């Protein structure tokens, strides 16, 4: 990218970035004025859709009789897979996701048909009335079963470095374990919803709650059998996404569009919560295992890690998700001789999908499990073992996939957190407490995070923006990213205001629309600000270049060039000359200068060769670490997270309040994944934890009373937007310290001799089972 105008990013003299501006919608959100799709004013001819779903997890459809659905009050249309004019498969990457079940049912709760009626209630009542006859077949419901049958949605992938076999044989100690890791329901507060409006010239306008409007546009066009230019998707804000609206929003938008086109009306489809939880994918459950060899100090010399994702019935995004699990099973630790295998197991569950971290958490937790196991074996504090195994600065810095870890902050970051959290004094205090407390035991753990930033699908690392400057100096910026609460629009507004040196109030960030910025990537992989911020900045720079040239010509001083023009404090300055920004814009308009521009960005440096398992899939890494202290009740397995300290790297923060919000929110969400959020399916493949009464995300009392969160002050060494770092996903994995602290507390029952095998989520029941697996330890044996 050309940079004709020098960017004064060091020191941020404009003052618009680096400050904790409130979320752009905060005032509208607290006063009920912020509109979500279901809140939009209703078009006059609005009708309501509902879906009917499969009562079995697998089998052949013998008959689907919808005559009673048609006869139900208020019904105006019913569609099945036979009624789809275009593509039936709406899979994002690899085939396998039919919009409605076709010949076979693939999971319990799969959409089989949809009904349109005059009210939501009528549509949903009618959807219950189909007569469905399925010849059931035996469903595959576990990773183990899928692996035994080699039933994979995509081929396995492997990475390796060094010589595992001989290094393992030569190791002083070896440990091998298996780790079950549960999935996670997104539980965005706003469920899936779309409203499609049939328009003239065969167009359809769709309002949807989606992280990926361009893909929704493409899939609607394919389903309707029309070209993409006939479809406009508008997305102002989501009531939470977390990955659950990256691919999972498309189906409902497509069904609404189908009805709208057939009936030439407006159609809203909003899933009721229980159906949302049953019919949309979740974080993948994983069954992982590892063999690790190490020396008497606990230094790893060999590791063999197997990653097995439960992908559900189709690939969806699972190839990249299991890859990311593999990319993160080292976390921050150097594995000199290592083999990593990743399997994508097919089961008759809903197709599991993107969820904040995208497989990274399920891979990273294996590394932390290894650290605990090693520490117990060599009799060291797990923190010492973690520090010993960190990637080096200039050596011991090659990942299992051949990427050099540059600018590694972890050693310093951990040292700072170790001190600020008073780790060792608290370790002593906890040891003393545990010696005198037979029932309640305390645990402590510090775990790091190293998370790779970039889409591993290289082509997605691009972004576009569209900037309009109006003649009163106000601006609209539009970009391909979507706002789901993460503050992306706030940061983009700050970037634009900063570029022009104008007030934030003069910048309006408008709804993401496929007719403004085309062919966009999903807002995912933590990349929203990195990609769209750079694209928006690029659009700003182009318009600034035009204005600078115009002003330079106006000033007409041969000693000054456009390079010398400065935009700051609502003024534009060139040498001794200065003009108000609004005045310059008006002069430029009269002077016939274009005041609008697109902007574009693509991430440099990245590449990865799947054939060799080598490359640089990530532009950079984001780092962090957390210390958690817990107390567990050894009679019931109940626990409480008493204190958490976090130090996290966001590069140069664009907005510290928003970044801290991402860190805290990500941590608590990760804690939920590892503790109370317990997905349960019954033996027939039916999801039992299918509503918020049976699936428990953290509530307000779960937030630790002591919760210290700090930003690690250091600019990103790479040329990211103002040298900030992505923050959406990495903090979720800070919650590993909660899981490790619970294990630490359990291990205290054995005087830290045994590494307890605790699955995730660590529900009270799982904690108690783990305690009981240690054998019958009497109360008197539990104290000194």
Partner 1 sequence: MISFLLNDKAVHIDATQADTTLLNYLREECALSGTKEGCASGDCGACTVVVAQANKPGSALEYRALNSCVTFLSAVHGKQLLTVEHLADGDTLHPVQAAMVDAHGSQCGFCTPGFIMSMFALYQQGEAPSREKINVALGGNLCRCTGYRPIIDAALASCTGTVDDKFYANRATTVTQLADLHNVNAGLDNLLMPTDRIELASAIGKHPEARLFAGSTDLALEVTQQLKTLPTLISLTQVAELQVLQETDLGINIGGAVPFSKMEALLLTHFPELHELLDRFASTPIRNQATLGGNVANASPIGDMPPALLALNARIQVDNGQARRDIPIGEFFTGYRQTLLQKNEWIEAIFIPYKKTNSKISAYKISKRQEDDISAVCAVFNLTLGENNIIQELASGFGGVAATPVSAIGLAAALVGKDWSQSATFEAGKVILSQAFNPIDDVRASATYRQTMIVNLWKRFWLQSNQQSHKIETRVHAYE
By beta-carbon proximity to partner 1, the closer residue of 60 and 189 is 189
Contact indicator for 285, 353 with CB cutoff of 8 Å: no
Give the nearest distance from C-beta 211 to partner 1 in angstroms.
Answer: 12
Cα–Cα distance list, 570 to 22, 373, 454, 512, 631 (Å): 21, 59, 35, 27, 55
Residue 421 in 3-state DSSP?
coil
Among 329, 346, 299, 293, residue whose Cα is nearest residue 158: 329
Of 307 and 709, which has the nearer Cβ to partner 1?
709
What does the DSSP assignment read for 715-734? --SS--GGGB---SSGGGGG
Q: Which is nearer to partner 1, 611 or 778 (CB)?
A: 778
Contact by Cβ (8 Å): 241, 188:
yes
Comparison of 562 and 660: residue with beta carbon closer to partner 1: 660
- Per the document, the length of the chain is 784
Q: Can you say whether the dihedral through the CA atoms of 160, 165, 166, 171 is positive or negative?
A: positive
Q: Please state the closest distance from residue 763 (CB atom) to partner 1, in A.
A: 5
Q: How far is the CB of 242 from partner 1 (least distance, A)?
A: 7
Give yes or no for a contact between 509 and 516, defined as CB atoms under 8 angstroms apart.
no
Catalytic-labelled residue, pool 185, 729, 772, 781: 729
Minimum CB distance to partner 1, residue 626 (Å): 12
Ramachandran quadrant class, 575 (left: phi over 0; alpha: psi -120 to 50; beta: rest): left
Cβ closest to partner 1, residue 186 vs residue 218: 186
Q: What are the residues facing 300 on neighbouring strands?
A: 294
User: What gap in Å lies between CA 591 and CA 355, rounded to an integer?
Assistant: 50
Q: How far is the CB of 485 from partner 1 (least distance, A)?
A: 3
List C-alpha distances in Å: 625 to 126, 570, 704.
Answer: 51, 40, 16
Nearest approach, Cβ of 148 to partner 1 (angstroms)? 25
729 is an active site residue: yes
Parallel/antiparallel/unpaired status of strands 104-105 and 286-294: unpaired
Tell me the closest approach of the beta carbon of residue 335 to partner 1, in angstroms. 32
- Gap between the Cα atoms of 579 and 205, Å rounded: 43
CB of 33 to partner 1, least distance (A): 7
Question: Rounded CA gap, 152 and 142, in Å?
Answer: 12
3-state SS, 267-336, equals EEEECCHHHHHHHCCCECCEEEEEEEEECCCCCEEEEEEEEEEECCCCCCCHHHHHHHHHHCCCCCECCC
Are the CB atoms for 549 and 564 separated by under 8 Å?
A: no
Q: Tell me which residue of 369, 365, 373, 364 sits closest to 399, measured CA to CA.
A: 364
Place of tokens 């085939």: 95
CA distance 78 to 49: 9
Q: Beta partners for 174?
A: 293
Q: Minimum CB separation from partner 1 for residue 418, in Å?
A: 23
Most distant CA pair in the chain, distance: 91
| Gap between the Cα atoms of 561 and 548, Å rounded | 9
* Residue 639 CB, nearest approach to partner 1 (Å): 6
| 408 CB neighbour count, 10 Å cutoff | 19
d(CA 677, CA 662): 20
Active site residues: 729
């Amino acid at each position: 990218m050309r940079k004709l105008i020098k960017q004064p990013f060091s020191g941020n003299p404009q003052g618009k970035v680096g400050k904790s501006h409130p979320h752009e919608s905060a005032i509208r959100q607290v006063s009920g004025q912020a509109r979500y799709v279901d809140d939009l004013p209703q078009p006059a001819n609005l009708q309501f859709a509902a879906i009917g779903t499969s009562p079995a997890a697998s089998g052949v459809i013998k008959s689907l009789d919808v005559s009673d659905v048609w006869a139900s009050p208020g019904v105006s249309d019913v569609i099945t897979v036979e009624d789809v004019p275009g593509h039936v498969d709406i899979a994002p990457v690899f085939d396998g996701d039919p919009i409605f079940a076709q010949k076979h049912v693939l999971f319990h709760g799969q959409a089989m048909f949809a009904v349109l009626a005059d009210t939501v209630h009528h549509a949903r009542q009618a959807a219950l009335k189909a007569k469905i006859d399925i010849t059931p077949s035996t469903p595959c419901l576990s990773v183990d079963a899928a692996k035994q049958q080699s039933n994979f949605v995509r081929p396995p992938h492997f990475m390796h470095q060094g010589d595992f076999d001989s290094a393992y044989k030569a190791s002083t100690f070896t440990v091998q374990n298996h780790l079950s890791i549960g999935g996670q329901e997104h539980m965005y507060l706003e469920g899936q919803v779309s409203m499609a409006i049939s328009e003239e010239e065969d167009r359809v306008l769709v309002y949807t709650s989606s992280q990926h409007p361009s893909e929704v546009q493409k899939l609607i066009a394919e389903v309707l059998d029309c070209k993409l230019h006939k479809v406009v998707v508008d997305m102002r804000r989501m009531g939470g996404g977390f990955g659950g609206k990256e691919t999972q929003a498309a189906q409902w938008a497509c069904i609404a569009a189908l009805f709208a086109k057939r009936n030439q009306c407006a159609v809203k489809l909003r899933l009721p919560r229980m159906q949302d939880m049953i019919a949309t994918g979740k974080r993948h459950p994983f069954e992982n295992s590892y063999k690790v060899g190490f020396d008497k100090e606990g230094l790893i010399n060999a590791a063999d890690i197997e990653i097995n994702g439960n992908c559900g019935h189709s690939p969806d995004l699972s190839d990249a998700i299991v890859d990311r699990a593999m990319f993160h099973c080292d976390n921050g630790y150097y594995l000199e001789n290592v083999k990593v295998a990743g399997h994508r197991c097919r089961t008759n569950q809903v197709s599991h999908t993107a969820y904040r971290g995208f497989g990274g958490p399920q891979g990273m937790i294996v590394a932390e499990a290894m650290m605990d196991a090693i520490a117990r074996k060599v009799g060291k504090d797990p923190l010492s073992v973690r520090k010993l195994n960190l990637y080096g600065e200039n050596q011991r810095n090659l990942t299992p996939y051949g990427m050099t870890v540059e600018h590694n902050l972890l050693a310093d970051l951990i040292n700072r957190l170790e001190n600020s959290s008073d780790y060792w004094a608290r370790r002593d205090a906890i040891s003393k407490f545990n010696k005198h407390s037979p029932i309640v035991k305390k645990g402590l753990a510090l775990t790091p995070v190293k998370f790779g930033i970039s889409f591993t699908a290289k082509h997605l690392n691009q972004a576009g923006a569209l900037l309009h400057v109006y003649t009163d100096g106000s601006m609209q910026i539009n970009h391909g990213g979507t706002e789901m609460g993460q503050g992306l629009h706030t940061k983009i507004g700050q970037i634009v205001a900063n570029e022009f040196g104008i007030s934030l109030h003069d910048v309006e960030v408008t709804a993401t629309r496929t007719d403004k910025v085309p062919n966009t990537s999903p807002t995912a992989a933590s990349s929203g600000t990195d990609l769209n911020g750079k694209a928006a900045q690029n659009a700003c720079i182009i318009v600034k270049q035009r204005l600078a040239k115009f002003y330079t010509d106006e000033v007409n001083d041969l000693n000054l060039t456009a390079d010398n023009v400065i935009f700051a404090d609502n003024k534009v300055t060139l040498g001794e000359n200065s003009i108000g920004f609004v005045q310059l814009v008006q002069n430029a308009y009269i002077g016939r200068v274009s005041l609008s521009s697109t902007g574009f960005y693509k991430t440099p440096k990245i590449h990865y060769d799947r054939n060799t398992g080598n490359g640089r899939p990530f532009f950079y890494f984001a780092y962090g670490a957390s210390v958690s202290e817990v107390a567990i009740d050894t009679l019931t397995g109940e626990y409480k997270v008493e204190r958490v300290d976090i130090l996290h790297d966001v590069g140069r923060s664009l907005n510290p309040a928003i970044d801290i919000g991402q860190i805290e929110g990500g941590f608590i969400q990760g804690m939920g994944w590892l503790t109370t959020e317990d997905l349960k399916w019954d033996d027939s493949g039916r999801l039992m934890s299918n509503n918020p009464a049976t699936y428990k995300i953290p509530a307000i009392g779960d937030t630790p009373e002591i919760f210290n969160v700090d930003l690690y002050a250091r600019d990103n060494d790479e040329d990211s937007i103002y040298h900030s770092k992505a923050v959406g996903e990495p903090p979720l994995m800070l919650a590993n310290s909660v899981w490790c602290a619970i294990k630490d507390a359990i291990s205290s029952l054995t005087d830290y001799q045994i590494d307890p095998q605790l699955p995730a989520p660590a529900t009270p029941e799982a904690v108690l089972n783990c305690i009981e697996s240690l054998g019958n330890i009497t109360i008197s044996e539990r104290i000194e």
